[in-house]
Structure 1
């Protein structure tokens, strides 16, 4: 007997329910008996929905551009935490071990060879990327 998890119906009943719902899902008309249960479009006095919130890029904290966030995320993905504190050679070795994109390796290779970076934020700051500012 297979475990169905929290599903109380099983695969055969699931398929049957999908077939029953196809008409409702594809209908270009009201499918509810009572009008109050039908989804309503936005009213005239409501703002239009936007993919991006007003006032800037979604997901970019204050002090950073969306591109800065992408580069920081890629660096974090390809650099091990155990390498810190690290110099340029150690960072490049970690990037190569994790098969980082060439653009990321080229970016890190511009860092001064003699400097040591305590963490990822130190690397990001040394690269001249934006730094996240605290709230308030």
Structure 2
């Protein structure tokens, strides 16, 4: 099958392809104008990193990968954003809509009725972070 275009000839198509070939094969950032490039950190500023110390919270008690961290993640994954800010009833309705498992529903049922929670972390702390 011959690649071509009804408006151009084969020679012009090849020339146009070569014209943009370097753009598609060049390293990231080489296409951008200079003003698009991020500036390096200043002399008195720390280097920018994706995660401080490069650990992403791992091996920290209660952090990512710990039993408590995984339990908090599971708890929060069944609470929709639209539930916040909300009280115990709003969180329960959101969790029910997301088909939360029994352990998450029990934790939500243990929340105080008269308090409004701004986010999942507040609700988690109110259940004493894993003791319920």
Normalising by structure 2, we get a TM-score of 0.49
Normalising by structure 1, we get a TM-score of 0.48
| Higher relative contact order, structure no. (Cα contacts within 8 Å, ≥ 6 residues apart) | 1
